[in-house]
Structure 1
Amino acid sequence: MRTIYKICDAAAWRDAERAAVYRGSADDARDGFIHFSTAPQLAGTLARHYAGKADLKLIAVDAAALGDRLRWEPSRGGELFPHLYGELPISAVTGVQDLATRPDGSHLVPELAP
């Protein structure tokens, strides 16, 4: 199993758990897919898009469970990022944890499986 990660507002994640599906953020809707990161990409994603934001969840997802709706496409500097074209079923989620924020607004990145 290869794990990919979604950073999500805690309130939006509670809604997704109730609905048994996550439909993405406003940014995801704008871009037409749900953005994910690999473990090595996570720190950069947090710094670039989530600095200063609190009450976030880190969602671990089994990439294989997403089938051909998951595509690896170039993004920052040509690096391949996982993008999901469609909804994220809660059944593909393997873990959820809080993301701690430091006083400077940066986030503590937990140790993750690659």
Structure 2
Amino acid sequence: MLYRIAERADWDAARQTGFFASADLAAEGFIHTSERHQVVETANRYYRGRPDVLLLELDEQKLLAAGVAVRHEFVASRQQAFAHVFGPVPLQAIGRTFALVPNAAGQFALPPEL
């Protein structure tokens, strides 16, 4: 599974259009995602303290079946490979969604269900 930290406005739009897209798709040509072990660092690095985000669980096999390319690419600034999703994500490729709520210090932890 892949995980995307999503702004609620983008998730609300996805539920209306049937596809999840975010500003990075328009700006960079792909949607940034994380693997489970990368979620907390990503959340705390880019979304710290934000109460308006949630975590989407994406099924990579369903993305590929829908014709959406996924490439695992090395990101030098993080010294790790991350999956990049090259197109809007159809809702059928999104499994579970989780609330991401920062603690009093503004930091995130994985949802207990994960």
Counterpart position of 2:89: 88
Q: Does 1:46 align with 2:47?
A: no
TM-score, normalization by structure 2: 0.87
Segments of structure 1 that go 5 or more residues without pairing to the other structure are none
Aligned length: 110
Give distance in 2, aligned partners of 1:7 and 1:77: 17
TM-score, normalization by structure 1: 0.87
Q: Does 1:61 align with 2:58?
A: yes
Name the stretch that deviates more: 100-109 or 79-88.
Answer: 100-109
Counterpart position of 2:70: 70
- Is residue 55–residue 98 contact of structure 1 (8 Å, CA) maintained in 2? no
Give distance in 1, aligned partners of 2:49 and 2:11: 19
How far did 1:78 drift? 3.2
Give distance in 2, aligned partners of 1:104 and 1:41: 20
Counterpart position of 1:5: 3
Counterpart position of 1:29: 26
Q: Does 1:79 align with 2:80?
A: yes
- Classify 1:46/1:69 alpha carbon distance in 2 versus 1 (closer, same or farther; 3 Å): same
Following TM superposition, where does structure 1 have runs of at least 4 consecutive aligned residues deviating by more than 6 angstroms?
A: none
Give distance in 1, aligned partners of 2:72 and 2:112: 23
Q: Deviations over 1:58-103 (max 9, x none)?
A: 0001011111600000114431101001110001011111111111
After superposition, the CA RMSD in angstroms is: 1.6
Give distance in 2, aligned partners of 1:29 and 1:48: 21
